[in-house]
Amino acid sequence: MVVELGHFALVLALLVAIFQMLVPFYGSRVGDDRMMAVADPAAICQLGLLSLAFLCLTIAYVSSDFSVANVVANSHSTKPLIYRISGVWGNHEGSMLLWVLILALFGAAVAAFGRNLPASLKANVLSVQASIAVAFMLFILLTSNPFLRLDPPPADGNGLNPILQDPALAFHPPFLYAGYVGFSIAYSFAVAALIDGRIDAAWARWVRPWTLAAWMFLTLGIAMGSWWAYYELGWGGWWFWDPVENASFMPWLAGTALLHSALVMEKRDALKVWTVLLAILTFSLSLMGTFLVRSGILTSVHAFAVDPQRGVFVLAIMALFTGGGLAMFALRASDLRQGGIFAPISREGSLVLNNILLTTACATVFIGTLYPLALESLTGAKISVGAPYFDWTFGPLMVPLLMALPFGPLLAWKRGDILGAAQRLMVAMLVAVVVMAATLAVMQRGPWLAPFGVALGVFVMLGAVSEIVWRIRLGDVPFSDAMRRLINLPRSAFGTALAHFGVGMLVVGVVATSAYRQEKILVMKAGETTSIAGYEVTFRGVAPRTGPNYREEVAMFDAYRGGTLVSHLEPARRVYDMPPEPTTEAGIHAGWRGDLYVVLGDTQQAGGHAIRIYFNPMVRFIWLGAVVMFIAGAVSLSDRRLRVGAPGRARRSVAAAAPAE
Amino acid sequence: MVLWILFAMLAAAVVWAVTRPLLARSAADPAADSELAVYRDQLAEIETERAQGLLGEAEAEGARVELARRLIRRSEEANKLAGDGAAKTSAARKAVLYLGSALPVIGIAVYLGVGSPQLPGRPYGFRMDVPVEQATASDLVARVEEHLRANPEDGRGWDVLAPVYLRLGRFNQAADAFQRANQLLGESPGRIAGYARSMIMAQNGVVSEPVRRAYERLKVLDPKAMEAEVWLAIGREQDGDRKGAEAEFRRLLATAEDPWKTVLTTRLEQMAAQQADAGARARNAPGGAAAAQTERSPAGGETVRPGDSAAPAAAVDANEIAALDPAQRAQRIAQMVQGLAARLKENGSDLDGWKRLVRSYVVLGQRNDAQTALTDARSNFATDRQALTELNELAQTLELGS
């Protein structure tokens, strides 16, 4: 009964979405505010109905209701509770339901918090948002319905792919989707503005918090995926330039560019056309990510839906929204008036540079991801575009971006002083050079570009600190004054500095771990010891162990450093009961210098076990950097300015400053 | 009934919510006001930035002028828009109101098309409480499973469940259950035979080492067990010992009764046919001698695994093939394998196809070809970790090198 209630709620949600798509839009055309007002309750109803549907599916999973085909295919009665819940979105149908649920959540948020949006803009935004929901709900009901039943029900389910039974992966899809879907708001705003043929700086201010929120979730979602790949796949790698990873990385790059160009638009009314285009492209890339993963075009863990009918449907959705958005853009972009003039060397100029580099980088990833697919479908030839391509295209684009990054926030709007900015960055530059020399001296081995990369990361980190130091005039004014200025600094300034600091951390982690990683592959017998990166690692032996729904072979290792025991490591090889598939669990010791990472391989015929040991220096900086970026987004989002368009409009400082005009 | 009441409540709530604004009084547009707030705030910001030194005096002045211009333009546009009234749209609004009220009707219609309101939910825990006479077979299996999860030492339970698993086509679980029952209740020829059968089914007819051991044991417990003898002989054939297998088949045929007698006769006929066929080919084709030497008969254990996606097609083929005379039959099988190989050469992305090919070669005794196919398959799935794992497992089961 619960399942059927969920099914009915999903059908109703589709109808409400159709209503929400048509009525407010018509209302805004004829200027009827009551019809426009339908958008708000409809968006909230949609959220309620989809939450109910999702809840019902979750109940079916938790109670192992094997009369539901989707539960049979992806769950098992012995699965631990948390994976029964995460199993809801650990499959194609359920994850699409999560997708529309998050879409409805964002729509309802606009309805609830967008009280101060101009009525016609809001009606159009929610109408466009509903059209996306309609497309995806039709997709679910027609091709991937999670509520289909089986009669009679089988005795037990088929279980969830064991490598998906993992805490990080349980929460990776919701964050990733929140990111993807969050960009739908930017898209809806862009299309709504094009429908009205009117776009102004206030528009950018309303779009920015949504974009920022989406960007935050996407950042964390990608980081979680990378972290999971690192410890679960057992290769010690953290990024593989796999098409599925790229599919989430492209919207991130475009979204980052959008975030920066929206800033210019909001502050200076410039780059309007470009910002609208980016908003459309970012969401289109999100849709493409969904298409690549959901259509089964890529054979990978993620492509649980190998079904051409679904692929064609998602392709049609993608074509409709990308094509529709771009067509609107072509028709209306000329109506958008350009504003704000600026010199090439200025804050605006630096943000334009940022946009150029980020979109170019996005384009290189796009080509590297889609070219092999296009080639395969045209000629049948299978090529793989791997890390070398991206190292040689993406890498060089990042170098000027990172070198210019600390300068941007130090330049004034309209016309900036680059020498002055360089002066303020003097300390950061000096420290970076020292770090470069020190890295060279300590490592004394190639790759010889690596110290430069590390120094670049340090430069970005210190550049962010320098910005705050300069803003509060630390050193120029008495210390107490500087502290007062620090307290009065807008939160968005902290957000900027923190986010850039996070980028620097990430760069340091990426370069250090890629360049200085140590690796040992050997056969060890119980009692043997090997050494790597200053650790003495002793193999104690292998023992069997039984988990809730798997059996594993656990290897015991003791890691010593200078004679003292640092850590026990327990890498394992698991075989799950249902489905009976093997996985490897790495044993990881996280230290400040880096991670000691041990993987248990096959048992050798001559006795002993194949063991792989890695030392990944500073690898944690990669994910810490991403977490810092996420926090930076949250700090920036809490800034009063970004809430002006949102609920409780802040008037306090406004009244004081208004007489300036 | 409860379900329909819930549906009605849900639908009523939705209709109430989405039609309410249509009936409300028209409110003034707060747009101008809210946009003004943003502009005022931006003005204030220019002031702060000037104070912080982020904006020069001249630039700040310029920015203020730009902002003022925007503000004026915006209010002009707003005035132009304000002329449109809402009065003339009341008819359209009424139509929308009817549409909104009709949502539940459409909803029920669509739902009846896709939903299954008559099916009760069957949560796992709840199924334990259904009275025995109402329970389905799978409910009962689930119940025994649940009981065994709590009492894994109950050998009787495993003994009851094992043959059921075997019938349901859950061969791996059947083998496991037979083995457990055997350990807990003590050895019995029936359980050992059941274990061996499950294993053979699970591995698509390959007589693997555990099966061989099980049948050896069965021979000790029950020296007259024809089943063990026949399968061990088939195992020899699969291992490439054709002469030995043939001798065994003949020896067994002397004492065998049906159904084993039929099995043995068919095997012998097939072997003879293949020999003739291979000999003919060796004479006809230059260089075919080597092929003839390695060509082996398909083993008797060609079972079709229920649940395998290829099962229906394979079953049809099997019937068709059974109807052919032995020489044609061998040829037909060789053709099918060649066809599969050719197809995979063109499009190597079919993992199941590769597995089938490798298995077929092994069953045909062409171990070298199997090895080559395995290597090709691996290179095709070089980047797909899961596929590689599956291939490695297959290699292990079939005892091929890696």
Closest Cα in chain B, distance from residue A456 (Å): 25
Predicted confidence at residue B327, as pLDDT, reads: 61
B9 touches chain A (CB under 8 A): no
Nearest CB to B56; choose among A121, A412, A641: A412
Nearest CB to A4; choose among B11, B74, B116: B116
CA dist., res. A103 & res. A139, Å (int):
14
Whole-Å CA distances, A26 to A30, A39, A127, B5: 6, 11, 9, 34
Give A289-318 as a DSSP string.
HHHHHHS--S-STT-----HHHHHHHHHHH
Q: Which residues of A touch B11 (CB under 8 A)?
A: 12
B105 touches chain A (CB under 8 A): no
Predicted confidence at residue A138, as pLDDT, reads: 95
Nearest CB to A45; choose among B14, B52, B121: B14
Check: complex ipTM more than 0.90 = no
- Residue of A212, A176, A213, A188 lying closest to A133 (CA atoms): A188
Predicted confidence at residue A504, as pLDDT, reads: 95
pLDDT digits (tens, 9 = 90+) for A327-338: 999 988 777 766
- Residue of B136, B202, B311 lying closest to A154 (CA atoms): B136
* Topology alike, domains B137-264 and B314-397: yes
Q: Which residues of B touch A120 (CB under 8 A)?
A: 31
CA dist., res. A519 & res. A443, Å (int):
16
**Which amino acid does the sequence have at A351?**
L
The dihedral over CA atoms of B184, B188, B189, B195, expressed in degrees to the nearest 10, equals -10
Q: Which residues of A touch B383 (CB under 8 A)?
A: 384
Q: Which residues of A touch B85 (CB under 8 A)?
A: 31
Q: Which residue of A has its CA nearest to B29?
A: A119
- State the helix-helix crossing angle for B31-52 and A119-143, rounded to 10 degrees: 100
Over residues A286-314, mean pLDDT: 69
Over residues A65-86, mean pLDDT: 85
- What is the CATH architecture assignment of B314-397? Alpha Horseshoe (1.25)
Burial string for A372-391 (b: 16+ CB within 10 Å, else e) reads beeeeeeeeeeeebeeebbe
Burial string for A256-287 (b: 16+ CB within 10 Å, else e) reads bbbbbbbbbbbbbbbbbbbbbbbbbbbbbbbb
Predicted confidence at residue A297, as pLDDT, reads: 67
Judge: A153–B138 Cβ closer than 8 Å, yes or no: yes
Mutating which of A34, A63, A417, A599 best tests the B interface, going by the most B Cβ atoms within 10 A? A34
Q: With left for phi above 0 and alpha for psi between -120 and 50, is residue A594 left, alpha or beta? A: left
Q: Which residues of B touch A581 (CB under 8 A)?
A: 386, 389
Task: Mean pLDDT check: name the lowest of A511-515, A535-539, B73-77, B250-254.
Answer: B73-77
pLDDT band with cut points at 50, 70 and 90 for residue B26: low
Nearest CB to A16; choose among B18, B48, B54: B18
pLDDT band with cut points at 50, 70 and 90 for residue B268: confident
Predicted confidence at residue B132, as pLDDT, reads: 66
Whole-Å CA distances, B302 to A531, B84, B195, B297, B298: 52, 80, 18, 11, 8
State the CB neighbour count (10 A cutoff) for residue B270. 19
pLDDT band with cut points at 50, 70 and 90 for residue B383: confident
Judge: A658–B44 Cβ closer than 8 Å, yes or no: yes
B225 or A356, higher pLDDT? A356
Over residues A463-487, mean pLDDT: 85
CATH hierarchy code of domain B137-264: 1.25.40.10
Predicted confidence at residue A420, as pLDDT, reads: 83
Over residues A623-629, mean pLDDT: 95
B142 touches chain A (CB under 8 A): yes
Percent above pLDDT 70 for chain A: 93
Nearest CB to A5; choose among B6, B22, B383: B6
pLDDT above 70: residue A374: yes
A117 touches chain B (CB under 8 A): yes
pLDDT digits (tens, 9 = 90+) for A381-414: 777 777 888 888 898 899 999 999 999 888 888 7
Nearest CB to A471; choose among B19, B52, B70: B52
pLDDT digits (tens, 9 = 90+) for A144-197: 899 998 877 777 777 777 777 778 778 888 899 899 999 999 999 999 988 887
Residues 175-194 of chain B with CB under 8 A from chain A are: none
Judge: B31–A121 Cβ closer than 8 Å, yes or no: yes
pLDDT digits (tens, 9 = 90+) for B128-186: 666 666 666 777 777 788 788 777 788 888 888 888 888 877 788 888 888 888 888 88
A155 touches chain B (CB under 8 A): yes
Task: Mean pLDDT check: name the lowest of A56-65, A611-620, B243-252.
Answer: B243-252
Closest Cα in chain B, distance from residue A155 (Å): 4
CA dist., res. A264 & res. A378, Å (int):
42
Whole-Å CA distances, B320 to A601, B315, B324, B330: 46, 9, 7, 12
State the CB neighbour count (10 A cutoff) for residue A2. 19
pLDDT digits (tens, 9 = 90+) for A558-568: 999 888 888 89
Which residues of chain A form CATH 1.20.120? 1-163
CA dist., res. B372 & res. B344, Å (int):
13
Percent above pLDDT 90 for chain A: 35
Q: What is the residue-averaged pLDDT of chain A?
A: 85
B265 touches chain A (CB under 8 A): no
Helix (H, G, I), strand (E, B) or coil at A125: helix
My answer on whether omega of the bond before B259 falls inside 30° of 0, hence cis, is: yes
Predicted confidence at residue B316, as pLDDT, reads: 37
Over residues A289-308, mean pLDDT: 62
Predicted confidence at residue A102, as pLDDT, reads: 94
Judge: A151–B119 Cβ closer than 8 Å, yes or no: yes
The values of phi and psi at residue B74, to 5°, are -60, -45
Predicted confidence at residue B293, as pLDDT, reads: 36
pLDDT band with cut points at 50, 70 and 90 for residue A135: very high
pLDDT band with cut points at 50, 70 and 90 for residue A222: very high
pLDDT digits (tens, 9 = 90+) for A359-372: 999 999 999 888 88
Predicted confidence at residue A649, as pLDDT, reads: 36
Predicted confidence at residue A4, as pLDDT, reads: 92
The values of phi and psi at residue B109, to 5°, are -60, -50
Judge: A153–B47 Cβ closer than 8 Å, yes or no: no
CA dist., res. B300 & res. B248, Å (int):
14
Cβ A585 vs Cβ A607: under 8 Å = no
C-alpha neighbours within 13 Å on the C-beta side of residue A336: 28
Nearest CB to A41; choose among B17, B88, B111: B17
Over residues A484-494, mean pLDDT: 84
Burial class (CB in 10 A: 0-12, 13-18, 19+), B82: exposed
pLDDT digits (tens, 9 = 90+) for A579-613: 777 788 888 988 888 889 999 888 877 778 889 99
CATH 1.20.120 fits A1-163, yes or no: yes
Nearest CB to A155; choose among B45, B103, B138: B138
pLDDT band with cut points at 50, 70 and 90 for residue B239: confident
Residues 277-306 of chain A with CB under 8 A from chain B are: 299-301
Burial class (CB in 10 A: 0-12, 13-18, 19+), B325: exposed
Over residues A260-265, mean pLDDT: 87
pLDDT above 90: residue A280: yes
Task: Mean pLDDT check: name the lowest of A11-15, B39-43, B262-266.
Answer: B39-43
Domain boundaries, chain B: 33-77, 137-264, 314-397
Over residues A298-324, mean pLDDT: 73
My answer on whether omega of the bond before B223 falls inside 30° of 0, hence cis, is: no
pLDDT band with cut points at 50, 70 and 90 for residue B78: low
Over residues A277-295, mean pLDDT: 87
